[in-house]
Amino acid sequence: MISADDLIALVRNYNPRTNEALIREAYIYGRDMHEGQFRQSGEPYFTHPVSVAAILTEQRLDDATIITALLHDTIEDTRASYSDVAERFGEEIASLVDGVTKLTNLQLNSSETKQAENFRKLFMAMSRDLRVILVKLGDRLHNMRTIRAMRSDKQAQKARETMDIFAPLAGRMGMQWMREELEDLAFRVLNPEGRTSIIRRFITLQKETGDVIHRITGDMRVELKKAGIQADVFGRAKKPYSIWRKMQEKDVGFSRLSDIYGFRVITETEMDCYRTLGAIHRRWKAVPGRFKDYVSQPKTNGYRSLHTTVSGRDGKQVEVQIRTRQMHDVAETGVAAHWSYRDGVRTENPFAVDPAKWIASLTEQFSSEDDHEDFLETVKLEMYSDQVFCFTPKGEVIKLPKGATPLDFAYAIHTRIGHACVGAKVDGLRVPLWTRVKNGQSVEVITAEGQTPQSTWLDIATTGKAKSAIRKALREQDRERYVRLGRELARAALEHVGRKFSDKVIETAASSLRISSADELLARLGAAELSTRAMIQAVYPDVVAEVGDEVDRARAVIGLEPNQSFRRATCCQPLPGERIVGITYRGEGLVVHKIDCDRLVDFEDQPDRWRDLHWSSGTHRAEYTVTLDLTIGNDAGVLGHICTLIGGQKANISDLEFLDRKPDFYRLHVNVDLRDAEHAHSLITALQAESDVAEVARVHEETQIGARAELR
């Protein structure tokens, strides 16, 4: 365990004016509070907070943060109280320790609703003082470094949480080194075989090609010396997880990956960055489309660097990052650079982002999201996306996440522009709204008076701001339609139990259910947020409301014309409980699609063929066929066991087709008859839990047999 003197020496290296007495007192206090406590590995528990403090000294953080690391578990795990810590070390440190304690108690991998609420708390804690999350990240890094002492199920849980939340958060804060280490440590737990295979490939590659890094860094130094540029050059092989992710994204094997090495050039001045870029491009051929200028257009977290990928005579590609020393400090520590000390004073790094402004930009639209699913989606979109920079026709720069579309561009300018968008031009050429914009492109938004957001836009937009604005507009548009649908549902439900529909009945039900108005009650009925059974029982509690309990096929869909029939589209196979829309065909009934079906793109320019539809609430008597894509183990009795399991979920198998037979696995399509989306979810969950099932998913493809034939 690091001694108090050693820890103080680490701090003194960058902050000679450190309050040694206070750090020593915190060290002794924390050690005494944790006396008799041990980690899973059998080590004294206090080795953990000391190690977290040591990790934070690498980022040259202030005394308050280092002391918080030493005490971060005292309020939660010992007899120490907030008032005791405040009395000994001051309100600032007590508040930081309390903030870390609250973050530790958040169950970030719990249910979606709970997770959304905990994410809100996480961002609230960050907005009060970002140093709280810096300590928490240090805490998670040390726990991941020592994770082998935990039970295997706990290891997997912590690794997934790290991969999904803490590693991306560290990257979003600009702490790229921490993100890479967290990802690699989690990767070691979640896929040890994959990580080992990549490391073995690296060893083999080095034997075949020699020391590539040493050779290329030497060549770069020669070129820079010729150009009269003073700079440091470093090279390294990319982390196993980074390589694994590239293999998955590009769907290629290790041997086909080219840019598995990364090189970094640290220059004296910003001008030297561009001179270095020119020298490298003169010596090696630049790979088109792989240049990014984060110096003139820095990332939100303050990151600045020139990125380019070049290829040599042997065709091998390498990535090169070029930056100044100050840019490098921010690239290494991100927003933590704001608190960095050197020679006893806080470093005035011009590229360090003010944490207050950064967290404000990150959470700007979160408060507007009332729906838990929307909130989580917004968090993930805004936190974990890289950026591209596009220009308005007037030359103004608009920052967007990677993969953004002209529609996102329109909403980034102004919500009003987004709502009125009917098309876009990219670099002067008319393009579809779902086109992915690229760095440096000029985007012109075409608007029209009277245009309103379309539901299909939710699949086109990628930014949280755009999706939030579209959903809000759609909710306002949908309200009138939901009220109309709710009125139909209420009328049919009341008639079914021999009661007459009237405004007074609806008003009485709204009052009994403590709903603000009759229209609000009808809107909730239409949106399937309230059942007709609950509405009827609020007024007639003695009536057993059969409606809502059982729905036959004839009444399954609301919104049809009298005596109009419908058919489910085989391309997306919608089920009761899923949002749907109808497309009309001459001489035929409606074909019902899921709202996110890819085939709907074919009908975007034919709005007269669209019909607003809604599944009836309640339990559906009819069953609907859904195709499942299953990959199962090729062992005796497995197929029979899977069929028995499906039957046990009250699902009937109507057809079965083998797609691929391998010595170890079978892949097959299974047609099952299901009542609704909840029934499908229950069945898929049960199948996923089986060890003999490698993969299971609903088939949502145009290529599915019969899809095109039925839709003609």
Tens of pLDDT, residues 640-683: 888 888 887 778 888 888 888 887 888 999 999 988 887 888 78
Q: Which fold has domain 4-189?
A: Hypothetical protein af1432 (1.10.3210)
**Confidence tier at 227 by pLDDT (50, 70, 90):** very high
Q: Is the pLDDT of residue 115 over 80?
A: no
Tell me the C-alpha distance between 404 and 434, whole Å.
9
Query: Comparing 118-122, 165-169, 204-208, 413-417, which segment has the lowest mean pLDDT?
Result: 118-122
What are the residue ranges of helices labelled H in 339-445? 355-362, 372-384, 406-413, 415-419
Give the count of beta carbons closer than 10 Å to the beta carbon of residue 171.
Answer: 22
Q: Is the pLDDT of residue 440 over 80?
A: no
Place of tokens 């702490």: 175
Q: Among the options 20, 43, 58, 76, which is catalytic?
A: 76
Mean local confidence (pLDDT), 338-352 = 72
pLDDT score, position 643: 86
Residue ranges of the chain assigned to CATH 1.10.3210.10 = 4-189
Q: Is the pLDDT of residue 588 over 80?
A: no
Residue ranges of the chain assigned to CATH 3.30.460.10 = 194-346
Residue ranges of the chain assigned to CATH 3.30.70.260 = 620-711
Among this protein's residues, is 129 annotated catalytic? no
Give me the long-range contacts of 414-422 (CB less than 8 A, separation at least 24). Answer: 415/469, 417/445, 417/447, 418/453, 418/466, 418/469, 418/470, 419/451, 419/452, 419/453, 419/469, 419/473, 420/447, 420/448, 420/449, 420/451, 421/445, 421/446, 421/447, 421/451, 422/446, 422/447, 422/448, 422/451
Mean pLDDT of all residues in the chain? 81
Q: Among the options 77, 488, 519, 520, which is catalytic?
A: 77
| CATH (one of 3.20.20.140, 3.30.70.260, 2.40.160.40, 3.20.20.70) for 620-711 | 3.30.70.260
Q: Is the pLDDT of residue 377 over 80?
A: no
Q: Could you give the angle at which helices 47-57 and 20-33 cross, rounded to 10 degrees?
A: 150
Tell me the C-alpha distance between 283 and 303, whole Å.
27
**Beta carbons within 8 Å of 274's beta carbon, 6+ residues apart:** 306
Single-letter amino acid code for the residue at 297:
Q
Mean local confidence (pLDDT), 319-327 = 92
Closest among 356, 387, 344, 5 to 172, alpha carbons compared? 387
pLDDT score, position 709: 31
Q: Is the pLDDT of residue 613 over 90?
A: no
**Confidence tier at 707 by pLDDT (50, 70, 90):** very low
Place of tokens 């088939």: 699
Among this protein's residues, is 268 annotated catalytic? no
pLDDT score, position 338: 73
Pairing assessment for the beta strands 580-584 and 590-594 based on DSSP bridges? antiparallel
**Confidence tier at 314 by pLDDT (50, 70, 90):** low
Give the max Cα distance, the chain.
94
Mean local confidence (pLDDT), 461-474 = 83
User: What class does CATH assign to 194-346?
Assistant: alpha beta
Most confident range (mean pLDDT) of 360-374, 503-517, 580-594 is 503-517
Instruction: Let me know if 221 is exposed, middle or buried by CB neighbors in 10 A (0-12, 13-18, 19+).
Output: middle
Query: Comparing 49-63, 214-228, 596-610, which segment has the lowest mean pLDDT?
Result: 596-610
Q: Is the pLDDT of residue 108 over 70?
A: no
What the block records as the tokens of 12 is 């003194």
Per-residue pLDDT tens over the stretch 179-219: 889 999 999 999 888 888 888 887 877 776 667 888 889 99
Q: Is the pLDDT of residue 62 over 60?
A: yes
pTM of the model: 0.55
Name the percent of the chain lying above pLDDT 70: 83
Pairing assessment for the beta strands 397-401 and 429-431 based on DSSP bridges? unpaired
Per-residue pLDDT tens over the stretch 390-430: 888 887 878 787 788 999 999 989 999 999 999 999 988 88
pLDDT score, position 133: 86
**37 or 117, greater pLDDT:** 37
Contact 570, 707 (CB under 8 A): yes
**Confidence tier at 355 by pLDDT (50, 70, 90):** low
Closest among 683, 674, 694, 700 to 643, alpha carbons compared? 683
